[in-house]
Amino acid sequence: MDKELIHYIVTYNTHLLTEKEKLGVKHLHSEIKIGNCDGEDTRMKIEHKTDLYKRIGWMTEDKEILELIKGGQEELYKKIAERILKDHRGKIDFNNCPSCGQLARTPLARQCRHCGHSWRY
């Protein structure tokens, strides 16, 4: 499965994610935000933010979720996309270009980024 399809499935079908998958995505995004701390006291800021994020539920210590996100964001998104395709294939609205058949950028897009065809009415 290519990155474009994985991104499309996960981004536009968040309602099909399990609670553990949602928390895994939130945890990884929070790690990225925390990693952007600058300055001399970076370690203290990271520890403080990590504690705060755990208290408000954006990060977790749940072993099952930590195992799920072990491979990073790309791996997690791939696992999620594969599960969604397996369990909910009929619920996904694939917006393919009527001219070339490639996947459009979003479910509502009306112009193909691959061939430039427009199907606006």
Q: Residue 60 — φ and ψ, nearest 5°?
A: -140, 165
Tens digit of each residue's pLDDT, the chain (121 residues): 999 999 999 999 999 999 999 999 999 999 888 875 555 556 677 788 888 888 888 899 999 999 999 999 999 999 999 999 999 999 999 999 999 999 999 999 999 999 999 998 7
> What's the predicted TM-score (pTM) here?
0.82
Whole-number Å distance between alpha carbons of 24 and 29: 9
96 phi and psi, to 5 degrees? -100, 145
